[in-house]
Chain A
Amino acid sequence: MTIEEQVKDILARITRVDKSIITRESTFKEIKADSLDVVQALVAVEETFGIEIPDEEAQKFENFGDFVSYVENKVGQGQKV
């Protein structure tokens, strides 16, 4: 399973939306993710991949694609924290 699919699964589970509607262009609002959903998704992704996503970085995510790209980049760096 790719990183994108794993992140999508986590976000869909937390927001209870059908993951088929989530694309890289989807905003959190379109996925119906409120601020608590986003924090819980961040925490779940951090634990899944063993990375850290500070709020300072997360606040820059404009859509699901930004989120996934950040995770891919962090994991690609050898899970540096």
Chain B
Amino acid sequence: MSLEGKLALITGSGRGIGRAIALKLASQGADIIVDFFRHRESAEQTARDIEALGVKAEVIRANVGDPAKVDELFDMIGNKFGHLDILINNAASGVGRPLVDIDVKAWEWTMDINVRASLLCAQRAAKLMVDRGGKIVGISSLGSRFVLPNYTVVGVSKAALEALTRYLAIELAPQGICVNAIAASAVETEALKFYFKEGLVKDTRQATPAGRMVMPEDVANVVAFLCSEEAFMIRGQIIVIDGGTSIGVLALAGKGEQKE
């Protein structure tokens, strides 16, 4: 798989999953636009690590939750590069609260960044992919279809992102743009430590038939595949990366064992 000569924008790529995706695509030869919102130092470190792989990196600050900033981001890409080959809608935020405590502000903040930004970025990216095709990958989560504690607004936003992925896949197909998403279980990142209690890592590891946490690199590997020509016939799919967690529940509880 080679992405030589391709230009990829990964939103929210200073840290965590976005950074791992940026480095993976860079390792395959793509030039990378590193977008960040709150962590400049991390983003600049990611850019240095990308350049060390022998490709170009451009650092841009844009809160994709703000439509005006999305416009600025894509205006810059259009003016400077004139095209885009890969968009990874990775930037995400959320407010971890019990359902009854979700207010309008928390709802809008989460939906604006996780869903609306994915639509707006895809719309602008599609224009930069005219006559050359492209790849768009969204980053979802198992919380889109399973109920996790204090995860309501994020889970709902991810379900919307998955639906958006299907619509984008069909409507952008005639332009040669492949659109898919991945849905991971808890991925071991700084954000995970920030949002969830310490026990989550241990609980998740125990509930994972594959025997360990999903790492950012596990996600990056699948995203890179979805960005390759080998994945050309996969459209509008949500690829689950969870080490078997979501299908192994009964087995883990010991209830799936057969009688001797």
Contacts and interface: CB of A to CB of B under 8 A. Distances in A.
A56 B39 contact: yes
A42 B38 CA distance: 10
Interface string A47-66: 00000101110100000000
Contacts of B63: 43
A54 B109 contact: no
A52 B106 contact: no
Interface in B40-76: 40-41, 61, 63
Interface in B87-119: 95, 105-106, 109
Which residue, A39, A40, A42, has most C-beta atoms of chain B within 10 A? A39
Contacts of A36: 95, 105-106, 109
Interface band, chain B: 10 to 19
B38 A55 contact: yes
A70 B41 CA distance: 17
Which residue, A36, A39, A43, has most C-beta atoms of chain B within 10 A? A36
B202 to A, nearest CB: 24
Contacts of A39: 38
B39 A55 contact: yes
Contact of A54 (B39, B95, B105, B106): B39
A52 B63 CA distance: 12
Contacts of A55: 38-39
B108 to A, nearest CB: 10
B46 to A, nearest CB: 14
A56 B41 contact: yes
A55 B106 CA distance: 19
A43 to B, nearest CB: 7
A58 B41 CA distance: 13
Contacts of B40: 52, 54, 56
A33 to B, nearest CB: 12
Nearest to B94: A36
A52 to B, nearest CB: 7
Contacts of A58: 38
Given A36-B95, A36-B105, A36-B106, A52 B39 contact: no
Contacts of B105: 36, 40
A36 B61 CA distance: 19
21 contacts: A36-B95, A36-B105, A36-B106, A36-B109, A39-B38, A40-B105, A40-B109, A42-B38, A43-B63, A52-B40, A52-B61, A54-B38, A54-B39, A54-B40, A54-B41, A55-B38, A55-B39, A56-B39, A56-B40, A56-B41, A58-B38
Closest 10 CB pairs of A and B: A55-B38, A54-B40, A55-B39, A36-B95, A56-B41, A36-B109, A36-B106, A54-B39, A54-B41, A36-B105
Interface of B: 38-41, 61, 63, 95, 105-106, 109
Interface of A: 36, 39-40, 42-43, 52, 54-56, 58
